[in-house]
Structure 1
Amino acid sequence: MFAKRVFVVLAVLTVLSMALAACQPAATPTAAPPTQPPATQPPATQPPATQPPATEVAFEPMKYPENPSCDYGGIIKEIAALDRLTVQFTLCQSDPAFPSKAAFSAFSIQPKEWIEAAMADRRILSQPIGTGPFKLEAWNRGDSIVMKRFDDYWGEKAQVETLVFRWNKEAAARLLELQSGTVDGIDNPSPDDFEVIRNDPNLKLLEREALNVFYVGMTNTFKPFDDVRVRKAIAMGIDRERIVKNFFPAGSEVATHFTPCAIPNGCTGDPWYEFDPAKAKELLAEAGYPNGFKTKIYYRDVVRSYLPEPGLVATDLQAQLKDNLGIEAEVVVMESGAFIEESSAGRLDGLYLLGWNADYPHITNFLDFHFGASNPQFGKPHPEIYELLQEAARIADPKEAEDLYTRANNAIRELVPMVPIAHGGSAVAYRADVEGAHASPLGNEYFAVVKPGDRNTFVWMQNAEPISLYCNDETDGESLRACEQMLESLLAFEVGGTAVKPGLATSCDPNEDLTVWTCKLRDGVKFHDGSDLDANDVVMSWIVAWDAKHPLHIGNTGAFSYFSYLWNALLNAPPSED
């Protein structure tokens, strides 16, 4: 049923409407961004004082860049404000997934003036100014984030006055707080507690569809992972079924492919390798490691829907590598932000446990992000994979693209950049009296629609503290969910679903070959600081992330990973070190 739903979504994507935005050139910046270390704990904790809207001046539409070209290798050619309420995206190739990408929170919109004022000193990391149903009241480091209802919200107002985010990495502790009534909803209860929650009349469990993947990553710029025989041996030497059976809840399944089968073309091509330790040892011997080797297993001790028991899985994998392949692996636990940064940059010299929750229901979200030409995560990218993905991404009809994705999936299997382990079932739990309770297959629960009995505050407890609240430069799910309560993108996803609907734009209309998308903004939308949304806010929000040489291309890490991978490359990206 979901596969059919996703197909309908994809059909909707190509007709989803959104109209234009006019242009006047803005000088192409050339200054390099300031060189400073990423701030995993942004400095400020209080939002800026609400400012009255600036005196209205004549609207001067932005167009970027001044001399558009596709020579840099990315998909985006030009972003232009055509008039106050119209933005136009000109692409270098067809992109049927544009509406789903434009609905994603990594492409949220903040005021142009605030970006200019708050990016350089990095206040933007902890003081978002959005258009969402909640606005930031305070970020109490290590304890909570408090948001208040935004009464000037353009859409349906939030059901509660106050929204509080808290966190605890221990599933048992989260459940205890839910049972005691100190929180109203929790993310990712332990699989062992599903029945406990179901049998408690004061609670309710809502299961998520497994639109995710858990994998064991390797980086081919480090020995011995530069040898495909070693990577293939590890793929054959891990009993993946044992891991899923012992550490994942009902509704989980062993991954036959990297992408979940509910996504069109996710499971075309040959299934993954069967567990075969004898063959794996032969491959290791051929590669010169008859007695195995020493390495590390990196992970972050944070529960995810794709990895409900990270510590136990790491220990089991350690034992399997030793018993099946003679590989001695030291388990290394890393801080969450540092782990994401180092793994994303391809700087981990061993195996690592990571995964992916769908951001939007399209195969490009899984394959293009991870195996695209600009992603260093697994080391040197493979043209045998990314060239097929680039061609397939231009095709709107999943059936027409099937052969390309079959070949791409087979190339991933043959080159083994990682080992897909599971598509993990997961759940959220709420107090029984919470109205509007829901679970999102995308992990982006929307708390403006919930009402906890007669209380006017909803308290949510997740697995970890957000890394920052500038989610245009984050890939961490705990950060994204917090941002999504306050910040909005051009389009949006249905609450608890995957269908794309209008957001800050009432429509996004493509031309015939899907290379120009024209988005029409809602009139009268207010930001949390009282200023009005216009097309220049959209242009600025996108270009500071897209252009690596823009003086405000700073963010948290400066990687802007989603812009880089989902649009093939950043504009003016520094040359690869390869």
Structure 2
Amino acid sequence: MKRLPTRSRSVSVRRRLASAGIAGALAVSLAACAQSERGEAGGEGGTFTFGAAGAPDLFDPFYASDGETFRVTRQMFEGLVSFKPGSAEVEPGLAESWESSPDGKTWTFKTRQGVKFHDGTDFNADAVCKNFERWYNQTGAGQNQALSYYWIENFGGFADGQTPSLYEGCQAPDPNTAVVKLTRATSKFPDILGLDPFMIQSPTALEEYQANNVQAQGDSFVYSEYAKSHPTGTGPFTFESYDQGNGTIRLTRNDEYWGEKAKIQNLVFRVIPDETVRKQELEAGGIDGYDLPNPADLAALREAGNNVQVRDPFNIMYLGVTQKNNPKLADLKVRQALAHAVDRETLVKANMPEGAEVAKQFYPKTVDGYADDVQQYDHNPEKAKQLLAEAGASDLTVNFYWPTEVTRPYMPDPRGIFNTVADDLRQVGVTVNPVSRPWNGGYTDEVDNAKADLFLLGWTGDYNSPDNFIGTFFGTTENRFWTQASPWGEDLANQLQAADSEPDEARRNAMYQDINRKLMSEYLPAVPLSHSPPAIVVSDQVEGLQPSPLTAEVFDTVSISG
């Protein structure tokens, strides 16, 4: 299976372009209604208004892959498993408990009783299996990578059998027991069931509003009535309306929710594409909070009395190296020279927010399989020059790509980061040809198609699994690093597959530690740079926000004081 890991919770470029166009057109009109959507105060009840960076694509999370859509849908939907607030640790969701067979292929989930979907129908084991079967039986446009990205990435193929699938079947022997069978063991299970696309939806509503009726239309898609107006889950908020002209999504508290009810009555998302405008709207009282404030603004936001919360870093930014176009980059010594050339300590201090750390491998130390004894590359320009000379690459010239019109949790200032790294490379004699592309206007496409020699990119983890990081990056040789150019590329992919399929946790972690050691010594397909703690800001009237290292907040704990 070919992986296309462009995520930062935003995968489908064509669909993002459409959303960005809509969002851009809204900027002026949104600024004019600063006060109209600010929630009334009053503890229990009231309205919490959040400034979203982009418009959602749709409200059916299975067909989505972008963070702005998920920010809305995770308020309405829930999965069999969830993540503990403030962590990446799995906890019960719609399943109270689960157990695995010794071979890791059969998973038995005990579902919660007394839970109802927003349409009043029962959540039960049969509903779980119907959701799995819906995902597995996608046809036509539903199998498009842009729509079923997370299924393809995590489960592989569909029922037509053209590509092998991790999923084998689901049975409901009684209303409170769902048995999911896999074709092999995987370290991803059951954690992936907490991802937004795999949240459980009402089978009745899916059928009534023809949720699978999605059609390709040129470079975009036409979605069903369900995806546009009738999302139906079990979560703490229900869908009320989406005024696309004003860029306003309204949700209402689910008073029939099975768990603790939301503290606010109404949840509003206002689409405000420009980060500076979001800051101004917070200051003016037009919104109650927004995500990923510019690190340069954090001190001023705090001085103004706002509550700036910095999440624990659960991401990686790296200097990518593509081996396809420049034969010199296929030489390990050249890649090691690049690693020694970059002053990562200075990069973190000068360009990253408070709390950022230098990355020593391709995921944070909180993820399983982290190895403490990997080879490290200190900032050593003379060593870099020596390695380039030994490789016959003292005259190395590279096309170095960096993205514009974007801020990512792991990359808050792309231009500044690019300039810092490029200057380090020039100091060791590398000729740098800068190439900039808009994030949604060519950057991710060209990087994924291995057109860049060097590039800046990263990843925010979905869950605590090495496969979600290095398996996504290097699990196939047809990747943006073009590891098929190296004799170890296929072997690395096979090692990752074997580690992911190992059911014994201790043995699996040891396998990943060994892979991490090889990645940093024998392979070095890219240069890990940093882990960055992304911030989220709310006004001083907001209480109860629980920041998530996965950037996956649910706002049911939020209240408005005043």
Match of 1:357 in 2: 460
Match of 2:228 in 1: 127
Contact 1:217 1:352 (C-alpha < 8 Å) held by counterparts: yes
Contact 2:109 2:179 (C-alpha < 8 Å) held by counterparts: no
Query: Does structure 1 residue 93 correspond to structure 2 residue 200?
Result: no
Q: Which amino acid aligns with 1:102?
A: L
Contact 2:108 2:179 (C-alpha < 8 Å) held by counterparts: no
Contact 2:87 2:548 (C-alpha < 8 Å) held by counterparts: no
Distance 2:167 2:512 in 1: 23
Query: Does structure 1 residue 214 correspond to structure 2 residue 322?
Result: no
Match of 1:336 in 2: 440
Query: Does structure 1 residue 383 correspond to structure 2 residue 490?
Result: yes
Contact 2:546 2:557 (C-alpha < 8 Å) held by counterparts: no
Could you say what secondary structure the match of 1:177 adopts? helix
Matches for 1:58-77 after TM superposition, within 5 Å: 74-77=165-168
Matches for 1:420-435 after TM superposition, within 5 Å: 420-435=528-543
For each residue in 1:148-188, what CA deviation from the matched residue of structure 2 results, as whole angstroms up to 9, or x when unmatched? 32658644555232411323444x44333222212211212
Query: Does structure 1 residue 412 correspond to structure 2 residue 519?
Result: yes
Distance 2:412 2:98 in 1: 32
Match of 1:107 in 2: 198
Could you say what secondary structure the match of 2:186 adopts? coil
Distance 2:243 2:375 in 1: 46
Match of 1:166 in 2: 271
Query: How far 1:35 sits from its partner (Å)?
Result: 11
Match of 2:431 in 1: 327
Q: Which amino acid aligns with 2:444?
A: I
- Greater share of helix residues, 1 or 2? 2
Distance 1:130 1:37 in 2: 24
Match of 2:150 in 1: none
Distance 2:513 2:133 in 1: 43
Cα distance, 1:397–1:251 mapped onto 2, change above 3 Å:
farther
Could you say what secondary structure the match of 1:410 adopts? helix
Query: How far 1:145 sits from its partner (Å)?
Result: 4.2
Contact 2:338 2:384 (C-alpha < 8 Å) held by counterparts: yes
For each residue in 1:391-437, what CA deviation from the matched residue of structure 2 results, as whole angstroms up to 9, or x when unmatched? 22234554333321122102211212211100112211111111322
Distance 1:260 1:77 in 2: 32
Query: How far 1:210 sits from its partner (Å)?
Result: 0.7
CA-based RMSD:
3.9
Could you say what secondary structure the match of 1:148 adopts? strand
Distance 2:457 2:368 in 1: 23
Contact 2:87 2:549 (C-alpha < 8 Å) held by counterparts: no
Distance 2:442 2:198 in 1: 23
For each residue in 1:302-358, what CA deviation from the matched residue of structure 2 results, as whole angstroms up to 9, or x when unmatched? 222211211111122222222223222214132336433443x33332322111112
For each residue in 1:469-528, what CA deviation from the matched residue of structure 2 results, as whole angstroms up to 9, or x when unmatched? xxxxxxxxxxxxxxxxxxxxxxxxxxxxxxxxxxxxxxxxxxxxxxxxxxxxxxxxxxxx
Query: How far 1:235 sits from its partner (Å)?
Result: 1.9
Contact 1:237 1:325 (C-alpha < 8 Å) held by counterparts: no
Match of 2:353 in 1: 249
2:451 corresponds, among 348, 351, 355, to: 348
Distance 1:38 1:95 in 2: 24
> Which blocks of at least 5 consecutive residues in structure 1 are unaligned?
40-63, 455-578
Count of residues in Structure 1 that have an aligned counterpart in Structure 2: 420
Query: How far 1:359 sits from its partner (Å)?
Result: 1.0
Distance 2:359 2:133 in 1: 49
Could you say what secondary structure the match of 2:309 adopts? strand
For each residue in 1:361-393, what CA deviation from the matched residue of structure 2 results, as whole angstroms up to 9, or x when unmatched? 222221221121276232245233232222222
Contact 1:268 1:402 (C-alpha < 8 Å) held by counterparts: no
Query: How far 1:450 sits from its partner (Å)?
Result: 2.3
For each residue in 1:522-562, what CA deviation from the matched residue of structure 2 results, as whole angstroms up to 9, or x when unmatched? xxxxxxxxxxxxxxxxxxxxxxxxxxxxxxxxxxxxxxxxx
Matches for 1:12-23 after TM superposition, within 5 Å: 18-19=109-110
Distance 1:165 1:82 in 2: 44
Contact 2:381 2:428 (C-alpha < 8 Å) held by counterparts: yes
Distance 2:144 2:469 in 1: 31
Distance 1:97 1:105 in 2: 15
2:544 corresponds, among 436, 446, 451, to: 436
Could you say what secondary structure the match of 1:340 adopts? helix
Match of 2:403 in 1: 299
Distance 1:321 1:275 in 2: 11
Cα distance, 1:200–1:124 mapped onto 2, change above 3 Å:
same
Higher relative contact order (CA 8 A, sep 6+): 1
Contact 1:258 1:266 (C-alpha < 8 Å) held by counterparts: no
Q: Which amino acid aligns with 2:512?
A: Y
Q: Which amino acid aligns with 1:434?
A: V
Query: How far 1:208 sits from its partner (Å)?
Result: 0.3
Distance 1:289 1:214 in 2: 26
Match of 2:557 in 1: 449
Query: How far 1:83 sits from its partner (Å)?
Result: 7.9
Contact 1:303 1:310 (C-alpha < 8 Å) held by counterparts: yes
Query: Does structure 1 residue 370 correspond to structure 2 residue 478?
Result: no
Contact 1:204 1:430 (C-alpha < 8 Å) held by counterparts: yes
Cα distance, 1:392–1:252 mapped onto 2, change above 3 Å:
same
Distance 1:419 1:197 in 2: 33
Contact 2:316 2:529 (C-alpha < 8 Å) held by counterparts: yes
* Greater mean alpha carbon deviation, residues 402-411 or residues 149-158: 149-158
Contact 1:268 1:405 (C-alpha < 8 Å) held by counterparts: no
Match of 1:182 in 2: 286
Distance 1:367 1:25 in 2: 29
Q: Which amino acid aligns with 1:424?
A: S
Cα distance, 1:13–1:315 mapped onto 2, change above 3 Å:
farther
Contact 1:127 1:136 (C-alpha < 8 Å) held by counterparts: no
Distance 1:190 1:260 in 2: 22
> Which blocks of at least 5 consecutive residues in structure 2 are unaligned?
1-83, 101-106, 111-124, 148-156
Query: How far 1:256 sits from its partner (Å)?
Result: 0.9
Contact 2:88 2:549 (C-alpha < 8 Å) held by counterparts: no
Cα distance, 1:288–1:107 mapped onto 2, change above 3 Å:
farther
Distance 2:141 2:173 in 1: 28
Distance 2:505 2:395 in 1: 45
Contact 2:167 2:182 (C-alpha < 8 Å) held by counterparts: yes
Distance 1:277 1:301 in 2: 32
